[in-house]
Amino acid sequence: MKPVFMTYTKKDLINLAVCMVLSVLIIPTFISTEYWYTSILIPWLCLALATIGQQIVMGYTGQLALGAAGFMAAGAFAMFNLILRVPDLGFVGSLIVSGLIAAAFGILFGLPSLKVRGIYLMVATLASQFFIIWMIDKFGWFKNYDSSGIITAQDIVILGKPFTTPLAMYFVCLAVTTVLTLLAMNMARGSTGRNWMAVRDMDIAAESMGVSLLRTKVQAFAISAFYCGVAGALFAFCYLKSLEPVAFDIKLSFKILFMCILGGLGTINGAFIGAAFILLFPVLLNAVGNNVFHGAIDATIISSIEQVIFGGLMIIFMIYEPLGMAKLWETLKHNIKSKLTSLDITSLKSSKLKKPRK
């Protein structure tokens, strides 16, 4: 195992510091409405984490997978059962173990990726989505033989202290997301990530250069499912506060796919941008519907319009910027920078260059 937290540059540390100050100091001091924590910030962090999982397998390793919500369900229900049956493990321990359980599913359903790719793999991963949800639904043990179908999530207790207020839960999500994001950035930059990207760009060439396809792909699926599992556990315990298999249906998988693609394939910050966009856009649309049209437009029509816009954006991004919003942001930054400083030809060039996507 190589050292994990060592490959940061000065720029990264500044970015990290800015993010930390923003999320730990500024947000809690200026935002006091519960709504922001319970309906926006907490789900944003959870879904961003799941999107990072999707990024690892899709953006970095180039494997078209569509089962993120299934792994999230595995993580969430593993968490529920661990807290229920193995209370000694504690919250953090349970979170890690439920991530590992999701990872086991990831390995199992990632195996077809060794033989197939593209839409074929997508169908294989759909199997995981439907199978995991069915399994949880049909075997009462997973739900502790609860007949209502919806189970209340246990309270979060870390080191004997309860974390039940929205702010406290926000900090739990923030801490987990921060640690896992830093880890993901490291993996992406280190040899692990290089292997993933080599497989993505040309698997045969990667193999002939000594990258083990088996190892790389299975590793990507396992790590991806681990992230999704942890995200699912947080999603259930901090956001939904209940557990029901329906919450993790195929729609959520598609949502995460959209977050991943619109945010920007193969980027970590894209996961956060994409998740924020997909979460906030409906809020914005509803606000417009209520305040500009004063509820004249039906809520179902608004949600249909939202779907049309998401789909349309997907097409537009595929045509004009397959690398998503993260890339747009980069281009914007470059352009501003080159406007501010004297005309720097190299940076201008690199900002204009579109990387051809395989």
Partner 1 sequence: MVDELLFFMEVLVGGLLAGTMYSLVALGFVLIFKASATFNFSQGAMVFFSVLAFCGFMQDFNIPFVLAFILAALLMVVVGLCTERLVLRPLMNASEDTVLMATIGLGYVLEGLAQAAWGVEVRRLDLGIGDFPVPWIADNLKLFISALDITAGLVAALMIIGLFLLFKYTKIGLGLRAVADDAGAASSIGIPLKHIMLLVWSAAGVVALVAGCMWGARAGVQFALVDLALKALPVLIIGGFSSIPGAIIGGLIIGATEKVLEVYIGPYFGGAIEGWAPYVLAIFFLLYRPEGLFGEKIIRRV
User: Which residues are near partner 1 by CB under 8 A?
Assistant: 62, 64, 112, 115-116, 118-120, 122-124, 126-127, 130-131, 134, 137-139, 202, 204-205, 250, 254, 257, 261, 300-301, 304-315, 318-319, 322, 357-358
Distance CA 279, CA 44 (A): 7
Give the nearest distance from C-beta 135 to partner 1 in angstroms.
9
Give the nearest distance from C-beta 82 to partner 1 in angstroms.
23
Distance CA 28, CA 167 (A): 8
Give the nearest distance from C-beta 102 to partner 1 in angstroms.
17
Give the nearest distance from C-beta 187 to partner 1 in angstroms.
23
Greatest Cα pair distance, the chain, in angstroms, is: 68
- In the chain, beta strands by DSSP E: 151-152, 156-158, 161-163, 242-243
Structure token digits, residue 241: 């506060």
Give the nearest distance from C-beta 27 to partner 1 in angstroms.
32
Cβ neighbors of 257 (< 8 A, separation 6 or more) are: 54, 58, 66, 68
Give the nearest distance from C-beta 93 to partner 1 in angstroms.
31
Tracing tokens 């799941």 back to the chain, one arrives at: 50
Pick 27 or 305: Cβ nearer partner 1: 305
- With b for 16 or more beta-carbon neighbours within 10 A and e for fewer, the 312-339 pattern comes to ebeeebeeebebbbbbbbbbeebeeebe
Cβ neighbors of 223 (< 8 A, separation 6 or more) are: 53, 56, 103, 106, 187
Pick 164 or 307: Cβ nearer partner 1: 307
Pick 35 or 130: Cβ nearer partner 1: 130
Pick 34 or 298: Cβ nearer partner 1: 298
Pick 8 or 131: Cβ nearer partner 1: 131
Pick 67 or 229: Cβ nearer partner 1: 67
Tracing tokens 């681990």 back to the chain, one arrives at: 226
